[in-house]
Amino acid sequence: MLGSEQLVQSQAHQLLGDWLKAICHGTPQEVVEMYDTDGILIGTVAEEIKRGRPAIEGYFDMFMAKDKLCGKVTSMEVQALDNGGVVSGNYTFGWEEDGNPKEVNARYSYVFKVQPSGQIQIVNHHSSAQPESQQDVLSDISELF
C-alpha cells in the first residue's frame, strides 16, 4: 500500500496526465467532467472566474478549438491535503495556426479532492502566463482566443 504522500503524488500525476490527454485528444465535455460540479477555473486569459461545469465548459469550448492543440507538463510540485492535494508547476501548450506552430508557456495550480467513489476531481484550477516572457506570451495567448 502506498503511503499518504506517495498516494497524493500518484493521484496528482494521474490527474494531470488524464487532464492533458483529454485536452489533446478529447472533447471539452470530457475535460469538464474532471472538475467538481461547483469547481472554479481561473483561465489564463479568461476575463472572469468560471464557476460550475457549464461556465467551465464554455471556456474549454473556446480553448480547445485550436488546431492540433496539446500540452505538456514541464515541472510539478505536489502538496498533500486531507482527502486530496495541490499540484502546481509549469506547462507548455502548442497548436497550429495557418500551418505555423505556436507555443505558450504557462504556470498552473490545481486543487483536487478524492470523491468517496475514488474519482479524483478538480476543485480549483488557476493558470497564468509565465512572467519572464510576459510580452511574448500575451501576444501568443491572445491568438488562442
Count how many domains the chain has.
1
Question: At 26, which CATH number?
Answer: 3.10.450.50
What does pTM read for this prediction? 0.85
Query: In b/e form, how buried is each residue of 29-66, taking b as 16+ CB within 10 angstroms?
Result: ebbbbbbbeebbbbbbbbeeebeebebbbebbeebbeb
Buried b or exposed e, range 77-102, using 16+ CB within 10 angstroms = ebebeeebbbbbbebebebeeeeeeb
Grade residue 1 by pLDDT with cuts at 50, 70 and 90: very low
> In this predicted structure, what is the pLDDT of residue 143?
59
Query: What's CA 101's distance to the chain center, in Å?
Result: 21
Q: Are 78 and 12 in contact (CB under 8 A)?
A: yes
Please give the helix or strand (H or E) that residue 85 lies within, else none: strand 84-97
The boundaries of the domain holding residue 98 are 4-144
Q: What is the C-alpha to C-alpha distance for residues 69 and 34, in angstroms, rounded to an integer?
A: 18
Q: What is the pLDDT of residues 41-99, one digit of tens each?
A: 998 878 899 999 999 999 999 989 989 999 999 999 999 998 999 999 999 999 998 99
Q: What H or E segment, with its residue span, contains residue 92?
A: strand 84-97
Q: Residue 26 pLDDT more than 90?
A: no
CB 94 within 8 A of CB 101: yes
Please give the mean pLDDT across all residues of the chain. 88
